[in-house]
Amino acid sequence: MRLPFHTLDVFTSQRFAGNPLAVVLDADGLDAAQMQTIAREFNLSETIFVMKSLKPAHTAKVRIFTPGAELPFAGHPTVGVAALLAELRSPQTNGERDALIILEETIGTVRVGVRQRAGEAAFAEFDAPKLPERHGMLPPAEELAAALGLIPNEIGFANHRPIAFTAGVPFSFVPVEDLDAIQRARPRFPYWDSVFTGSVPGGVFLYTRETVHTTSHVHARMFWPATGVNEDPATGSAAAALSGLLHTYDSLPDGVHRYVVEQGFEMGRQSLISLNLTVQRGKLETVRIGGHAVRVSEGTISI
């Protein structure tokens, strides 16, 4: 069996930056074990498999795999595959393309708006299919610091303290004092395995208010060794869950709040994630994730 594939760089408008993604088309004949094998072969943060949709009005059914596990939802595969399918299946008008891509993901139906203008990278955005919610408790700062190679007083800033949230995929959120500390952080074994185990999410999202770009609001890193992702250049599902703690800690007033999350800088894969939150009557009503995507390569893979 030979299947067409494409790779894209996501959450960037330039090739060889952002988060690389593999998209395997016509994957209806593959089972989960074969998909996992292919994802391990690509060895990117995620590989997404495209199949025929179950409902005629939808664009495609998809499944998402890291090198070590299947995910019910992920941001950069959603953005990347929508940009690709829009380019492959939607016509241009005067060099411009606007499309609505409806994806059947394991978490549910995700509608992605795609906009492409002549000479520019495609931009795709979607409403998170699940609003963020708390997800258990995290260990003390001393244990988190040991697992990250930091000292305890580098964990936390202002009223931000470690907390776990999920918007479909659970993450441990660890606020870090400044850029210097977050740049020095890395998983320290065996402390890591003893801290991020059981009910404590092993997808660990570090964030700080100090940023590289003045137009960014949050600088982030994400480690998840258990899924084969030592560090992720851009994590849209974590950005969706991040909105929960921003609403909780920052007491956001009613209205629309716009953020840019920068990630992947320590890896040489600069990524920018657009995060828009809508608060109504004191409650978080919608979370929208967006970013650019550019095609890099295409070919076929045999299995």
Residues with Cβ within 8 Å of residue 217, at least 6 apart in sequence: 209, 211, 259, 260, 261
Amino acid at site 57: A
Cα torsion 26, 234, 36, 167: sign = negative
Cα torsion 231, 235, 237, 239: sign = positive
> No. of H helices and E strands in the chain?
6, 17
Joined together, the tokens standing for residue 203 give 């997808």
What is the distance between the alpha carbons of residues 31 and 243, in angstroms, rounded to a whole number?
34
Joined together, the tokens standing for residue 143 give 């244990």
CB burial readout 120-151, b (16+ within 10 A) else e? ebbbbbbbbbbbbeebeebbebebbbbbbebe
Cα torsion 290, 260, 250, 239: sign = positive
What is the distance between the alpha carbons of residues 243 and 218, in angstroms, rounded to a whole number?
11
Choosing from 46, 105, 231, 262, which is the catalytic residue? 46
Joined together, the tokens standing for residue 92 give 């241009």
Catalytic residue status for 87: no
Catalytic residue set: 46
